[in-house]
Amino acid sequence: MRYSAARVLWEGLTGHKGWTRAWRDPEPKPQYDIVIIGGGGHGLATAHYLASIYGQHRVAVLEKGWIGGGNVGRNTTIIRSNYLLDGNEPFYEFSLKLWEGLEQDLNYNAMVSQRSIINLIHTDAQRDAFRRRGNAMILHGAGAELLNAEQVRREVPFLNFDNARFPIKGALVQRRGGTVRHDAVAWGYARAANSRGVDIIQNCEVTGFRIENGKVLGVETTRGYIGAGKVGVAVAGNSSRVMAKAGMRLPIESHVLQAFVSEGLKPVIPGVITFGAGHFYVSQSDKGGLVFGGDIDGYNTYAQRGNLPVVEDVCEGGVALMPIIGRARLLRMWGGIMDMSMDGSPYIDKTHIDGLFFNGGWCYGGFKATPASGYAFAHLLATGKPHDTATAYRLDRFRRGGMIDEKGVGAQPNLH
C-alpha cells in the first residue's frame, strides 16, 4: 500500500477501514540467505538496502523484543555530517545524503528536517579546531559555515551572550544538519523492507550461533534454529553479549547515555544547538518538546537508566547557555545503552568467522549513521567488501595504530 495525502483523505472519509499492517508478522523460515540480528534502525536499514540495492530477498531480521526498541527509539534525533577525520566524514556525508532522499525512498514521512546544527565556539583554540573541521567538511562536500559572535547572536539571540562564564565567540554551522522523527525511521525501513519480502521477526531472541569449521551456519533462537548463509550482527547496546556467543571479545564497553525532553512549548529553538563549554545539546521537536542531552553517565552499565548527577550537569549547561529555559520543565528522562568503542568510531567489518559480520560500536552517534550504516553493512554482506565510505571501520585498526579518534581522548571509552 502506498501512502499519500489522497489516501489519507480517502481513508478519513471511509472510516479508516483500508489501512493494513505496516509490516507482516511472519513465522521464521528454516533457512535464509542472510540473517540480520537486531531489529533496530541499523538492522532494518541493512535489510532494506540488501533488498532494494543488492537484490537480496531471502533476508530475515531477528528482533528479541519489538522493532525499533533499542537506540533508534531512544535518542535525541539529530542528523549531521560535521566530522573531522577522513575515516569518518565521507561516511557521515553519505548518510546525510541518504537522509535527504529517505522519505521518497521509503514512502514514509520520517520528518527529516534540515533546520541546521550550530556548534558553539568559546575559545580561540576551539575556533582553530572548528576551522580545521569546517574545512574538512567542505572538502568532503558536506558544507560548513564559520560564524562570528555577532552572527551567532543574530541567529539565536536567546542564548546567554551577556552574562556567560564562557562567552560565545562564534560557531561552526552545518545548514544541512537537523533532526528526524526517530521512531518513524525504524517503522519506515521495516515497512519498506517488508514490502520487498524481508521477514521481520519480532520476539525472537538469538541464543547462540551454529559455527562449524570456522564458518557460521545459522543461529539458535527462542523460536528455534534458523539457518543462514551469512549472519550480520547489528545489536547496539548488546554487541559484546551477542558476539561473546561466538567466542569474541570486542573493543567495546557499554555505557548509558541519558536523554531528556521538556513539556511541550511553542517554538523556541530553530535548529540544533550544541554548547561548546558544557555538556548540553538541544533541539525542539515538532510536537514542541525541547529534546536535549549531554554526556554519558560514565560507568559500564546495561541498565537503561542513569543517575541524577548527569541530569543536573546537563541542566546546568542548558540553563547556563539558555537562561530562558529556567522555567521550562523537564518532562521525561530515559537512558539508552551505548556501545562505546575504543576510539569513538564504529566498526563495520567481517570477523574471523566465515560468514559472520559485525556492525557496532556506534558510541552515541548511531542514529545519524542509520542509513549509511545499513547501506554499508548491506554492501559488505552482499559483496564481502567494505563500502567505499566505510573502509576505515575495521576491527584490526588498533593493531595498526589507525585510530579514528575525533575527540583525541584515547582508549578510554567513557570519554568518547
Q: Which of 58, 151, 155, 183 binds another protein (CB under 8 A)?
A: 183
On whether the CB atoms of residues 95 and 372 are closer than 8 A, the answer is yes
Q: Which of 122, 176, 230, 387 binds another protein (CB under 8 A)?
A: 122
- Grid cell 520487498 in the structure block, residue: 196
Residues 289-308 that bind another protein (CB under 8 A): 298-303, 305, 307-308
Residues 238-267 that bind another protein (CB under 8 A): 240-241, 249-254, 262-267
Q: Which of 138, 224, 383, 388 binds another protein (CB under 8 A)?
A: 138
Report how far residue 383's alpha carbon sits from residue 276's, in angstroms, rounded to the nearest whole number: 41
Residues 6+ apart with CB under 8 A from 96: 79, 80, 81, 142, 176, 177, 368
Classify residue 405 as exposed, middle or buried by CB count within 10 Å of its CB (0-12, 13-18, 19+): middle
Residue 224 CA from chain centroid, whole number:
30
What is the per-residue binding string for another protein in 61-80, x denoting contact by CB under 8 A? ----xx-xx---x-------
What is the per-residue binding string for another protein in 214-243, x denoting contact by CB under 8 A? --------------------------xx--
Nearer to another protein, 30 or 125 (CB): 125
Report how far residue 281's alpha carbon sits from residue 244's, in angstroms, rounded to the nearest whole number: 34
- The helix/strand/coil state of 383 is helix
Angle at 346 between CA 341 and CA 347, to 5 degrees: 105
What is the per-residue binding string for another protein in 306-335, x denoting contact by CB under 8 A? -xxx-xx--xxxxxx--xxxxxxxxxxxx-
288 near another protein (CB under 8 A): yes
* Nearest distance, CB of residue 263 and another protein, angstroms: 5
Looking at residue 106, its amino acid is L
Torsion over CA of 140, 143, 106 and 361, rounded to 10 degrees? 60
The interface region with another protein, picked from 155-163, 218-226, 347-355, 372-380 by CB under 8 A, is 155-163
Residues 366-395 that bind another protein (CB under 8 A): none
* Cα distances (Å, whole numbers) of residue 47 to 90, 102, 391: 22, 15, 20
The interface region with another protein, picked from 9-17, 44-52, 210-218, 350-358 by CB under 8 A, is 9-17
Number of amino acids touching another protein (CB under 8 A): 136
